[in-house]
């Protein structure tokens, strides 16, 4: 299985990559700055890709010949993080719809079962990104 990990340089991504390697997957680790991946012991065991989820043109080359996309991007550095997260998720969803990818894994949060307006801004953002699913016809 060929796995693309978007956000491989983050806390979760840097731990997910070795788990996929351990079970024999071919991993393409994606980050805005792929040189940041050199700090991890596994950097020479993966393919790397420069991906900016806010720039659609960076996605198709990374999705080439990939079965699974693991999406680990959360933009908490801006006052408008909800808008940025949702726009990025839509950009990735469109790329998935146009690719041979068969599965998307998104690490959300512990979102309680309640009305969306009862959630914190942080959890609401995670829930909104969850709702961006690939088109059923594309699968």
Residues 21, 42: contact at Cβ < 8 Å? yes
Q: What pLDDT is attached to residue 122?
A: 73
Does position 139 have pLDDT exceeding 50, yes or no?
Answer: no
pLDDT confidence of residue 12: 93
pLDDT score of 119: 82
Report pLDDT for 136. 61
Point out the least confidently predicted range of 40-44, 93-97, 122-126, 135-139. Answer: 135-139
Res. 130: pLDDT tops 90: no
Could you tell me where the DSSP H helices lie in the chain? 13-22, 59-63, 81-97, 121-130
Distance in angstroms (rounded) separating the CA atoms of residues 67 and 48: 16
pLDDT digits (tens, 9 = 90+) for 47-87: 999 999 999 999 999 999 999 999 998 876 667 778 888 88
pLDDT at 58: 96
DSSP state of 136: G
pTM of the shown model: 0.86
Higher pLDDT, 124 or 93: 93
Q: Is the pLDDT of residue 108 over 90?
A: no
Tell me the DSSP string of 87-118: HHHHHHHHHHHTS---EEEE------SS-GGG
Choose between 96 and 123: higher pLDDT.
96
């Amino acid at each position: 299985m060929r796995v693309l990990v978007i956000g491989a340089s983050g806390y979760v991504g840097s731990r997910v990559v070795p788990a996929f390697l351990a079970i024999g997957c071919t991993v393409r680790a994606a980050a805005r700055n792929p040189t940041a991946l050199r700090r991890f012991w596994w950097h020479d065991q993966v393919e790397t890709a420069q991906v900016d989820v806010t720039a659609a043109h960076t996605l198709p080359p990374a999705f080439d010949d990939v079965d699974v996309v693991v999406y680990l991007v959360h933009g908490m550095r801006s006052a408008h993080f909800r808008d940025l997260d949702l726009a990025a998720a839509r950009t990735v969803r469109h790329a998935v719809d146009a690719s041979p990818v068969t599965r998307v894994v998104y690490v959300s949060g512990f979102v309680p079962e309640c009305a969306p307006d009862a959630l914190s801004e942080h959890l609401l953002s995670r829930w909104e990104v969850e709702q961006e699913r690939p088109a059923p016809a594309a699968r």
